[in-house]
Amino acid sequence: MILSSNSLLINHSGKEKEKEEMKKLFVNCLSLALGMLVLFSCKDNGGKTMFTPVSSGRPYEMLVVIDKAMWERPAGRALFNVLDTDVPGLPQPERSFRISNIGPEHFDRGMRIFRNIIDVDIQPIYTQPKLKYSRDSYASPQMIMTIQAPDEASFEEFVNQNKQVIVDFFTKAEMNRQINLLKEKYSDVVATKVGSMFGCDVRVPVGFERYKQGKDFFWTSEDRPGSEVSMNFVVYSYPYTDKNTFTRDYFIHKRDSVMKINIPGSLEGQYMATDTNYVNVKEFSVKGEYAFEARGLWYMENDMMGGPFVSHARVDRPNGRVVVVEAFVYAPKDKKRDMMRQLEAALYTLNLPQEQQIEEIVISPEVQEEKVQAPATAE
């Protein structure tokens, strides 16, 4: 039987197509195998594979590993009182952390993956108290702080002396987690507008879409449907004159003048102002450069509205100006700690012109990072 030339062409094309499909299948299988090899062998600097479990617990939850009897004695009470302090700058008392405790004999696989852990290690083999920490030892993200001491008396004294170090350590660790989230997921609308107005980059959570622009001023907000909650983020700038720009009185004066113009109330004669009785300021550094923080309460003049705020003021030297980023919240019936700390993390993402994105807030120079050996655990 003689096949036509058309039949030969079709048959030949079919074989070629089959070869191509086999080739694609081989390449795909090879790629998958290589991918799995990379996946199983990929480790971070701490030696963790990509299969390290996700940590458990909510932000600002703390697990203390300590002998039950010791927890009730002065040494344990000292640590509890440190962790149980109020968050600064809020209108109503709110605790810094939600605290749980567990005995070392119960610190098993299920408990090891908690996000924030303090391991109390009191043994006579130590000559003096010490703080150290490890990250992502059993889960990710995770911070484990170990507090070593030779006896309970020195432990109690050491914890009281370092209470702010301990609180700041875990507060910054949580903020760094939020910063990492903002690197991947943020409001593109806000980033674009701030970039065009100020030549700066900033990352705020998705959901901040509404905004208002003024002269050297930008305000964006997220209002939660069905509630009175309003989360707000502000960027503004003004000329830098001298070091007296960074004083408490000057900052309050400048803030009030900017907010009075740009954040009016619903009625004439209403505008945002600063409660001067509740403003704390401090100097710190971001990316090795000078920064000024103000934290306190705001209110609406001739109205009942009010709430907490926190501001960062930084010097943009090439452009001879001060750039301020501020977060404030109105939530009369809700807890405000988590909302404010989420937005405070966004303040640290500010990049002045020519700056690089911050990797993370420096945790604490007083606490040494090293591998921490967990206490003997039950399986």
pLDDT averaged over every residue in the chain? 87
Does residue 17 surpass a pLDDT of 70? no
Check: CB of residue 311 under 8 Å from CB of residue 294. yes
DSSP 211-224: EEEETTEEEEEEEP
Q: Are residues 107 and 233 in the same domain?
A: no
Q: Does 201 share its domain with 343? A: yes
Q: What's the domain range around 15?
A: 10-42
Indicate if 332 and 202 belong to the same structural domain.
yes
My answer on whether 30 and 97 are in the same domain is no
pLDDT(10) > 50: no
Residue 362 is predicted with a pLDDT of 81
Q: CB within 8 A of 94, min separation 6: which ones?
A: 86, 87, 335, 336, 337
Residue found under tokens 């409001």:
187
Question: pLDDT tens across 49-107, in order?
Answer: 567 899 999 999 999 999 999 999 999 999 999 999 999 999 999 999 999 999 999 99
High-pLDDT (> 70) share of the chain, %: 84
The CATH number of whichever domain residue 228 belongs to comes to 3.40.1000.10
Does 355 reside within a domain? no
Are 207 and 341 contained in the same domain? yes
Residues 150 and 285 in one domain: no
Helical ranges in 73-200 per DSSP H: 74-83, 109-112, 152-161, 163-184, 188-198
- Do 218 and 162 lie in one domain? The reply is no
Residue 120 maps to a domain: yes
| CA dist., res. 277 & res. 370, Å (int) | 42
- Looking at the fold, whether 212 and 311 belong to one and the same domain comes out as yes
Domain assignment present for 287: yes
Q: Do residue 164 and residue 250 come from a single domain? A: no
Model pLDDT, residue 70? 98
Q: Examine the domain organization and report whether 104 and 198 are in the same domain.
A: no
Q: For position 37, what pLDDT does the model report?
A: 37
- Residues 239-253 as b/e (b if ≥16 CB within 10 A, e otherwise) read ebeeeebbeeeebbe
C-alpha dihedral sign at 102, 108, 111, 112:
positive
Statement: residue 38 has pLDDT above 70: no
Residues 132 and 200 in one domain: no
Q: What is the DSSP letter of 357?
A: P
Dist. CA 377–CA 109, nearest whole Å: 8
Number of domains composing the chain: 3
Q: Model confidence over 149-198: pLDDT tens digits?
A: 999 999 999 999 999 999 999 999 999 999 999 999 999 999 999 999 99
